[in-house]
Structure 1
Amino acid sequence: MCGLVGLLTSDGSGRRLREGFPTALHCMRHRGPDEPGGTWSDDDLVLGFNRLAFIDIEHSHQPLRWGPPESPDRYALTYNGEVYNYLELRAQLAADEGAVFHTEGDGEAVVAAFHYWGPGAVARLRGMFAFAIWDTETRTLFLARDPFGIKPLFMATGPGGTAFGSEKKSILALLDSVGGGRDLDPRAIEHYTVLQYVPEPETLHRDITRLESGCHATLTPGSAPRIQRYFTPQFDIRPFTSGGEQRRYDEIAEVLSDSVAKHMRADVTVGSFLSGGIDSTAIAALAIRHNPDLITFTTGFEREGYSEVDVAAESAAAIGARHIVKVVGPAEFASAIPEIVWYLDDPVADPALVPLYFVAQEARKHVKVVLSGEGADELFGGYTIYREPLSLKPFDRLPGGLRSAAGRLSARIPEGTRGKSLLHRGSMTLEERYYGNARSFDDARLRAVLRGYRPEWTHTDVTADLYATTRGWDPVARMQHIDLFTWLRGDILVKADKMTMANSLELRVPFLDPEVFEVAQRLPTDQKLAHGTTKYALRRALEQIVPGHVLHRKKLGFPVPLRHWLAGTELHDWARETIAHSQTDQIFDKAAVLAMLDEHRAGTVDNSRRLWTVLVFMVWHGIFVEGSITPTIADREYPVTL
């Protein structure tokens, strides 16, 4: 796990521009404190790299040079991530292609696979990655990102060339070199305000984008990136054959066990995050089979009823793991927000990222790698909202006119009246009502708070193409597909990457594995949602793996008492001061935001998530636009191995 940055020039000025790379690399020193500041250049390209070493620690330095025997330095590679099947790939490449390797790491497997198998090699990589391969003979740059978007890759193209890197801050440091601007994108701002995150490929800066998950790009000096999608998740649902249920459950358990085993490959200590839910508990229970001294980590809050600490501790004891808890108070929570937002690059208004930051900070004192349970809900049907198509099925039989009438009727029913929400949501199609697992503002509130509101920039702008490609699918599978392309890669994986890498800690996610997905994609709806529970097939598969007290618990993650803190003394004054000092009057109607805060404190409406969305943006704007907020970013020194 590392940080890469590069600049492909349009005018052959690569060697000269190498002098400006220390700033771009220093912006993301937290991603690679073991070997910071590695650079390589030729006339067309500059590469920079900060290494956090896990495999083949004494070697596998980057930027890495590799080539076939007839041209041993043909390629230059910078590579962020881990390819867990690298041992199998190296063996296959050596046997079938005669590939020669000079290290014991996975980086050489990546570049050798590209040389012998071409761009199609990306689909054979089982892991998380973002990498750049420069071919010195064809003068071609190849960029690629993993299937689910676990690892980030930002890009900016202008008259001077294309900059790319693991962190947006590094791209901002190179914008002058490529000729890009720093204007904000109003469409992306609206998307963020509605969704609580900026959806790919956008960022809040108009001239900086992200290479999307499951895509690769090819560039030559002076050309724009040619982007191609190599992986599209398809839910190829297949009903169970008679007597086949247990075989499918066994298959889930086997492929997940294999994935965890592969994710444990490292020359350093691997720990595991552990909340009170089934996903992280399953990962930890499988991991301890490979590391009997496994350490697990969780976090809680100084408020009764908002902690998974007790359940996590019970789970750790049941599987025999050593367990460490980090408790976070409201003052510590608030004081860390500017630093956390700086690490995020773009705002993400998910309060769960704050406890994730603190538990990662605690874990890094003990281990260098942790496993976690992200992705299980999207693959196996874990969100309660996935049950909605079942409850709204009677509305599907209504003629269009009657459904519209139900919507008009719901508008006349007073707020809080039982049945109002059911009528309102039942009157809409799936495409109209669902655009992922997050929504801060409805249209009326958005219009009141966001200046320059454009209704065509809301959910259909983000999800229309995704729904078009899933027409005719089971509605639950369509919702999963939407979440894979929106909520998972826009929120879940961003906070997982940013908050752990902020602490120079690598997070690995065994559920988001191509072979696990291949099994999960075939599950019919009645194996996701059954007997009043979610992730039914996964729970059945894990009956002999996770402790009984966890098997049927709802997923809670690291719940945050945000509603209480914003209404009370803990965060209310901080929120009011943030709003007052923010120079975002041209973006938000601050009077309307303050009215929401007053409304929330009075207890008439829970505005906590809407307020948090605006507050996080204001902090981001203060750091990256105004320069009025200067986070304290510590230079942390860690040993190479733990």
Structure 2
Amino acid sequence: MCGIIGFVNPEIDDKKTAINKMMDTIKHRGPNSSGEYTNDEVALGFRRLSIIDLTGGMQPIYNEDHSRAITFNGEIYNYQEIREELIQAGHVFTTKSDTEVLLHGYEEYGMDGLLQKVRGMFGFMIWDDNIKTLFGARDFFGIKPLYYYQDGQELIVGSEIKSFLAYPGFVKELNMTAVKPYLMNQYNDLNETFFKGVHKFPAGNWFSFKDGQMDINQYWDASYVENSLSFEETVERIQDSIEESVALHNIADVPVGSFLSEGIDSSYVTSVLKPEKVFSIGFDDRTFDEVKNARDLAKLKNFEFYEDRVSGAEAFRDFPEMQYHMDEPDANPSVVPLWYLTKLARKHVTVALSGEGADELFAGYVNYGMHTHSSVIKVFTAGLKKLPKGIKGKLARGVRKLSDFHGKVNFYTNLAEPSEYFVGQSVIYDMNYPTVFTAKDANDILQPTYRNKLTTNLLYKKDFVKVKDADAVKQMQYIDLHHFLVNDILQKADKISMAHSLELRVPYLDRKVAELANSIPTSYLMNSHDTKYALREASKSVLPASWSNRPKLGFPVPVKEWLHDEQYYKQIRELFAEPFVNDIFDQEKVLQLLDDNYHGDGSKRRQVWTVFTFLTWYKLYFVDYENTVKKYQRIQPEVEELQEQGLLVNT
């Protein structure tokens, strides 16, 4: 696990100085060591967190005649079997690392052939000096981030956007178009980032860059063709698949621990892994407490349990640093507990397993159709799905016009096409589909130059077309896989864990697990019993039924309570009142939004938190960036302490 950065630009003479300055911005991703490769055209930089082949895996790594070089961020879990194939084919290895497998694999199979073989999480670049071409790829799901900026013959590629800002002559400019989609989703759902010209490289794709031409090629995507397995066979296949994936994700030359909450996703992975150490986080507000149940499971399983609690004062003190590491604003409140969970885990292990991806693959979100607890309504509305499409459409429009009644949302979503109503994980409760902000409400609080016609449904339009023949649940799973998961969940998982120099691994997001999950009949995944039903049944092989049947909670965070606390309200109001705010927002309206939420029932808390997050981030990157870098461009104190104690291996 590392950080990579590279650029192609023949006009920069002192590439070594430039690439090292860029590497300094991401030293938190690789506190062990650094390395670079430069020639007249290209520079590749690398910061290393040592996980596999501690003494021999230093990058860049070269082929036998040094005509090709690679920098790599991530892990290839099946690298050992591919390595044996390559040795049999005549390749000579100088290390035992998975990085060198990618390089020789490119030579033997080409980019597309290599990527059809690997299992893992990755972002990597290969410079082939024989054909003067830069190649690169991002993993299947986008677990590892990869960004790029192209201006004619010039290209920058890297793990974090902040390293681009140190590139000679890079002009930092806010992408004004991204503000409104962010307000509607709590994260940026555009391909172009908040930094003008900097794009997210798409998951499941690889690129080649030669003579100013960037070619992007897709090598993997989710597809949905239901298998004919029985429910019992399906449960057994899930069990086998999860066990194999967890075993692969346990390959490391350093200690591997696990995150543990009271939910099924992390509990299942942890119980299969059987780690020595597990970690959980809670809040001083005991209303939001997953620690007790996690502690009980750890005791039952004889795991060494570590816990910590977070106060509001700590959260607000550290929140700017969290948003600095995110690169782009992310108002998902779970950023907060994740920050302290990774901080806690890093004191004890270098690698931790987590449960991201289970909901998207195994249908765990209630807004896929579980909008009521009434079994009668569930059964009746499930039958509506069998009606002809035209009749369902007419009924859906009729139901939508009716006054609110118990079960209305469930009736409507079982009749209408997902492309008409689904707005991802930003949805809240009622028939008007209120998001963090609706498109109209977002435009209403923005200054005219930041307004546009984008809606959440419009952002999803192209992806809905790709899965138009799949059933409604699988359509929604596909949307979340390509939006919420990759642009929110996985971004914060990577950025926050790597801020603490911790490698976070996600066994559910393995291509073999995904291919199985995508073939499971929807009736096994979501039915009148529960969401994620088949996975829950599979988890009973290692979990008590009381854990397998627990409802999904996510990372509960006491935002409502914080925004009703006078000290935090005043702190946020001070930020909302700063002069720069009026350049972007109608300042009177956002102040009124804050005041109404504080004096009211707290129902506007998501909107307040989303604006607060954006302004915190904007101030860091566009108002006071020089001081931001001085304060936050660092290796975390707990990691420095490990270095001082000689517990962080330097290679």
- Structure 1 residues 148-175: Cα deviation after superposition (integer angstroms, max 9, x where no partner): 0000111111145101111100012216
> Where does residue 348 of structure 1 map in the other structure?
330
One-letter amino acid of the structure 2 residue matched with residue 609 of structure 1: R
> Where does residue 27 of structure 2 map in the other structure?
29
**Is 1:276 aligned with 2:254?**
no
One-letter amino acid of the structure 2 residue matched with residue 444 of structure 1: K
- Equivalents in 2 of 1:519, 1:108: separation in Å? 29
> Where does residue 519 of structure 1 map in the other structure?
516
One-letter amino acid of the structure 2 residue matched with residue 253 of structure 1: Q
One-letter amino acid of the structure 2 residue matched with residue 511 of structure 1: Y
Task: Name the SS of the counterpart of 1:49 in structure 2.
Answer: strand
Q: Where do residues 507-586 of structure 1 align in structure 2 (5 Å cutoff)? A: 507-569=504-566, 571-581=568-578, 583-586=580-583
- Structure 1 residues 419-477: Cα deviation after superposition (integer angstroms, max 9, x where no partner): 67668768864212113212311233223212336553121332111001111211000
Task: Name the SS of the counterpart of 1:456 in structure 2.
Answer: coil
> Where does residue 20 of structure 1 map in the other structure?
18
Which residue, out of 309, 312, 332, partners 1:330? 312
Q: Is the 8 A contact 2:392 2:415 kept in 1?
A: no
Q: Where do residues 230-269 of structure 1 align in structure 2 (5 Å cutoff)? A: 230-240=219-229, 244-269=230-255
Task: Name the SS of the counterpart of 1:571 in structure 2.
Answer: helix
TM-score by structure 2 length?
A: 0.91
> Where does residue 195 of structure 1 map in the other structure?
185
What is the Cα deviation at residue 346 of structure 1?
0.4
**Is 1:104 aligned with 2:76?**
no
What is the Cα deviation at residue 60 of structure 1?
1.4
Q: Is the 8 A contact 2:323 2:329 kept in 1?
A: yes
Residues 582 and 635 from structure 1, CA distance in 2 versus in 1: closer, same or farther, beyond 3 angstroms? farther
Residues 17 and 535 from structure 1, CA distance in 2 versus in 1: closer, same or farther, beyond 3 angstroms? same
Q: Is the 8 A contact 1:65 1:73 kept in 2?
A: yes
What is the Cα deviation at residue 406 of structure 1?
4.5
Residues 470 and 594 from structure 1, CA distance in 2 versus in 1: closer, same or farther, beyond 3 angstroms? same
Q: Where do residues 31-430 of structure 1 align in structure 2 (5 Å cutoff)? A: 31-36=29-34, 38-67=35-64, 72-95=65-88, 97-120=89-112, 121-159=114-152, 161-174=154-167, 176=169, 181-199=171-189, 201-220=191-210, 222-240=211-229, 244-288=230-274, 291=275, 294-387=276-369, 391=381, 394=384, 398=391, 403-404=396-397, 406-410=399-403, 429-430=417-418
Task: Name the SS of the counterpart of 2:583 in structure 1.
Answer: coil
- Equivalents in 1 of 2:93, 2:125: separation in Å? 19
- Equivalents in 2 of 1:430, 1:393: separation in Å? 17
- Equivalents in 1 of 2:414, 2:533: separation in Å? 25
Q: Where do residues 6-17 of structure 1 align in structure 2 (5 Å cutoff)? A: 6-9=6-9, 12-13=10-11, 16-17=14-15
TM-score by structure 1 length?
A: 0.92
- Equivalents in 1 of 2:554, 2:571: separation in Å? 25
- Once structures 1 and 2 are overlaid, which stretch shifts more, 531-540 or 391-400? 391-400
Residues 224 and 181 from structure 1, CA distance in 2 versus in 1: closer, same or farther, beyond 3 angstroms? farther
Q: Is the 8 A contact 1:188 1:203 kept in 2?
A: yes
- Structure 1 residues 378-402: Cα deviation after superposition (integer angstroms, max 9, x where no partner): 1111111112597487496647566
Q: Is the 8 A contact 1:15 1:45 kept in 2?
A: no
Task: Name the SS of the counterpart of 2:36 in structure 1.
Answer: strand
- Structure 1 residues 583-624: Cα deviation after superposition (integer angstroms, max 9, x where no partner): 132321221112211221223451111111111110111011
User: Identity across aligned pairs (percent)?
Assistant: 34
Residues 490 and 175 from structure 1, CA distance in 2 versus in 1: closer, same or farther, beyond 3 angstroms? farther
Residues 576 and 24 from structure 1, CA distance in 2 versus in 1: closer, same or farther, beyond 3 angstroms? same
> Where does residue 475 of structure 2 map in the other structure?
478
- Equivalents in 1 of 2:362, 2:513: separation in Å? 10
**Is 1:497 aligned with 2:494?**
yes
**Could you list the runs of 4 or more consecutive aligned residues of structure 1 that deviate by over 6 angstroms after TM superposition?**
422-427
> Where does residue 441 of structure 1 map in the other structure?
437
Q: Is the 8 A contact 1:307 1:558 kept in 2?
A: no
- Equivalents in 2 of 1:392, 1:490: separation in Å? 31
Task: Name the SS of the counterpart of 2:69 in structure 1.
Answer: strand
Q: Is the 8 A contact 2:7 2:155 kept in 1?
A: yes
- Equivalents in 1 of 2:237, 2:497: separation in Å? 31
One-letter amino acid of the structure 1 residue matched with residue 418 of structure 2: L
Point out where structure 1 has 5 or more consecutive residues left out of the alignment: none
Q: Is the 8 A contact 1:77 1:132 kept in 2?
A: yes
- Once structures 1 and 2 are overlaid, which stretch shifts more, 469-478 or 426-435? 426-435
How many correspondences in the alignment? 618
Q: Is the 8 A contact 1:233 1:481 kept in 2?
A: yes
Task: Name the SS of the counterpart of 2:195 in structure 1.
Answer: coil
* RMSD of equivalent CA atoms: 2.2
> Where does residue 594 of structure 1 map in the other structure?
591
- Equivalents in 1 of 2:300, 2:249: separation in Å? 22
One-letter amino acid of the structure 2 residue matched with residue 40 of structure 1: Y
- Equivalents in 2 of 1:423, 1:528: separation in Å? 19
Task: Name the SS of the counterpart of 2:534 in structure 1.
Answer: helix
Task: Name the SS of the counterpart of 1:530 in structure 2.
Answer: coil
- Structure 1 residues 210-250: Cα deviation after superposition (integer angstroms, max 9, x where no partner): 11110111001x4132111111111222344xxx3222211
One-letter amino acid of the structure 2 residue matched with residue 640 of structure 1: L
Q: Is the 8 A contact 2:281 2:291 kept in 1?
A: yes
Residues 505 and 399 from structure 1, CA distance in 2 versus in 1: closer, same or farther, beyond 3 angstroms? closer
Q: Is the 8 A contact 1:315 1:547 kept in 2?
A: no
Residues 147 and 200 from structure 1, CA distance in 2 versus in 1: closer, same or farther, beyond 3 angstroms? farther
Q: Is the 8 A contact 2:51 2:254 kept in 1?
A: yes
Task: Name the SS of the counterpart of 1:237 in structure 2.
Answer: coil
> Where does residue 375 of structure 2 map in the other structure?
none
> Where does residue 419 of structure 2 map in the other structure?
431
One-letter amino acid of the structure 1 residue matched with residue 246 of structure 2: V
One-letter amino acid of the structure 1 residue matched with residue 135 of structure 2: F
